[in-house]
Amino acid sequence: MAQTNSHLTLLSDLTPPSLERTWLTSPHPTLPIVATCSSDKTVRIYSLTNFKLLSTITGGHKRSVRTAAWKPHISGESVLATGSFDATVGIWRRWDNYGTNTNPTEDNLAEDEVDAEDEEWRFAVLLDGHDSEVKSVSWSPSGMLLATCARDKSIWIWEDLDDGDNNFETVAVMQEHGGDVKCVSWHPVEECLASAGYDDTIRLWREDLDDWGQVACIKGHGGTVWFLDWEGVDASPAAASVDLQRQWREQVSLSGPRLVSCSDDRTARIWRRVPKESASAAALSSAATGIPSIIRPTGTDENWEEDACLPHAHELAIYSVAWSRRTGLIASVGADGRIVLYEERFVEGGPNTDPGAGAGADSEAMDTTDDAAPSPSSLRTGWSIVAVVDGAHGIYEINHAAWAKRADRASESAGTSEEEVLVTTADDGSVKNLDRIEAAGTLHWQDPVLK
Amino acid sequence: MAEVQNSNPTILNVADLPTRSRSTKKSGDYDYTSGIFAAVPNPADFLSSDSEDDDLLEEPIDEQEIFDLIKLISDPEHPLSLGELAVVSLPDISIKPTLPNVPSSPLQTVTVLITPTITHCSLATVIGLGVRVRLEQSLPPRFRMDVRIKEGTHSTGDEVNKQLGDKERVAAALENGALMQVIAKMMETCR
């Protein structure tokens, strides 16, 4: 089998690091900067151009900052939402005049003195409503809505009124989850929210006639679901044939972007919405077999099914998954300190091919199409592990991974402006930038030199 | 606590609890692994013919040491230790490599099974949290803690285990002042 191995090599640490556990790093949607949340109650803003600390947001939260998200689609200003164990959500603003500069320490020195006030992160508003630790925050694709979730089992949706007065209005409070809600994540283009948590479920939410309600509840994981991420809208598996890709896009356009989840049960799974037509066909066939369907889809109900379970690669809980919207690669990280990269490929052969025939789980493609699935065999895909990095943060657990556009000088000189880096965040407080290099051969891992 | 839940627990004699000294007596050597010499490496380590990485000279941590770390934690409702109440016991502690398929990995998982004195003890979570906190504070970060209620010894064991295994909840609990006061009180007898 012709196979390209992806290599992850350490590009750089982000320095100086937090001295305490870091939970998550959120890359800015347009600028080459990231926000890292720390147990020391602060958020650190680092540059992806020189990997140095640009500023530290302090004084807003009384306990660990667990999560952060950048508001999309605004220009001239950056807006960051932060969620903390202190049960509050903070909104921070700052004029965009740094981060794009490759050497801010020298060039901006004089400017710093003049515009000291503009350099600061301005605390805008504290969103109060949750009863306990806030675990995740997410902005809708338009940037109009902010979803937050907490240990109090609730999900809140806030509307940013954008009235220049930092007013947010509570649009909905959803309390269907049976335990902590660990993660909220908006669909890449639609106003559809996915959530997951301690009750082992993944739920999907949409607005129907002014009311936000649950449209699907996915049960499949055997433990807390820690994190969710959506597939990009234009993604498709690598294929030699343009025709294959066109067919794939047609199929995908019916079900929409897929969702990847990871769990305490040590698995990462991919979920696909069953297109409405085939869902009713399934209902018809159940009528034909005489077995009554207990699921009665109303206008808004959606049927989600497992599309794939990624090849087993983690020995402990998987805390985060990141689905690259540029390359379609998925990265997973967890308590075992491992980073694993998965790639989806079209699988040759008919439905009778036994996917479990090979012994090497690491390179063996896993079958992802159910026997009953109606898709033509030419559109079968499988996920293979293309890279594994053990001990990526030494002995520490890795809490989060995120893809970001590479922005350092080395990449510019190489002319690979679309290259991506994987930013991982761990218990030791360090944040690392991993560079993905396509090459053949064995995996190479370079030890951190900046520590 | 309004009312003691288990007013008549079974108590073990401290002298009967397993200790290291019993096993080392046979050789007649000085016991280097306890008392004020605990921090001094056993000369035997240096005399051994293995001359690999420096970290291998690090004194290995065994089940007895884990037991010694947690046996003196006080029960939240009795003036007795978890060792005396047999809430923790040496046979219920195990240490295994976390990544058995990666021989070079230094990660090890410490599993401690807790036996609550009564099957409906509402303090099981607090006791488990105390054990986990004690180990996290005492052991190097290459150890992964797996503190669980021993199967069949508690009516809501699975629920307690899920909480104790949830890193985020444990982290949040450590920032909860009231809860940490209770834990600190349990730890007082450890020093």
- Answer whether residue A366 is part of any domain: no
- Answer whether residue A295 is part of any domain: no
CA of A426, closest CA in chain B: separation in Å?
A: 12
Q: Which domains does chain B have, with CATH numbers?
A: 16-59 (no CATH), 61-190 (3.30.300.130)
> Which residue of B99, B165, B172 is in closest CB contact with A133?
B172
Q: CA-based angle B98:B104:B106, to the nearest 5?
A: 50
Q: Give the domain range for residue A201.
A: 5-278+305-351+371-439
Q: What is the pLDDT of residue A282?
A: 53
Q: What is the pLDDT of residue A158?
A: 98
User: Residue A290: which pLDDT band, with cuts at 50, 70 and 90?
Assistant: low
* Rounded-to-integer distance, Cα B116 and Cα A390, Å: 37
* DSSP 8-state symbol, A86: T
DSSP bridge partners of A422: A403, A434
- Tokens for A394, please give them: 């030494």
> Is the CB of B96 inside 8 Å of chain A's CB atoms?
no
* Rounded-to-integer distance, Cα B86 and Cα B10, Å: 8
ipTM: 0.81
* Rounded-to-integer distance, Cα B84 and Cα B74, Å: 9
Of A267-281, B26-40, B176-190, which has the strongest mean pLDDT? B176-190
pTM of the shown model: 0.83
- Answer whether residue A129 is part of any domain: yes
Collect all residues of chain A within an 8 Å Cβ-Cβ radius of residue B162: 198, 223-224
pLDDT digits (tens, 9 = 90+) for A148-172: 999 999 999 999 998 889 999 999 9
- Answer whether residue A444 is part of any domain: no
Amino acid letter, A450: L
Amino acid letter, B133: V
DSSP A266-322: S-EEEEEEPPHHHHHHHHHHHHHHTPPPS----SS---EEEEEEPPP--SS-EEEEE
| Domains identified in chain A, total number | 1
CA of A69, closest CA in chain B: separation in Å?
A: 19
Q: Count CB-CB contacts under 10 A for residue A223.
A: 17
- CB contact burial A167-188 (16+ within 10 A = b; e otherwise): ebeebbebebbebbbbbbbbbb
Q: Is the pLDDT of residue A220 over 70?
A: yes
- Answer whether residue A43 is part of any domain: yes
Q: What is the pLDDT of residue A285?
A: 53
Residue A28 sits in a domain whose CATH number is: 2.130.10.10
Cα–Cα distances in Å, from A168 out to A124, A126, A279, A430, B50? 11, 10, 38, 33, 65
Judged by CB atoms closer than 8 Å, whether chains meet at A85 and B175 is answered as yes
> Which residue of B102, B166, B172 is in closest CB contact with A390?
B102
Q: Is the pLDDT of residue B18 over 80?
A: yes
Q: Which residue has the higher pLDDT, A20 or B35?
A: A20
Whether residue A61 contacts residue A88, with contact meaning beta carbons closer than 8 Å, is answered with yes
pLDDT digits (tens, 9 = 90+) for A35-61: 999 999 999 999 999 999 999 999 999
* Rounded-to-integer distance, Cα B155 and Cα B122, Å: 10
* Rounded-to-integer distance, Cα B181 and Cα A120, Å: 37
- Answer whether residue A32 is part of any domain: yes
- Answer whether residue A53 is part of any domain: yes
Report strand pairing: B143-149 vs B108-114: parallel
Q: How many CA atoms lie within 13 A of A284 on its CB side?
A: 6
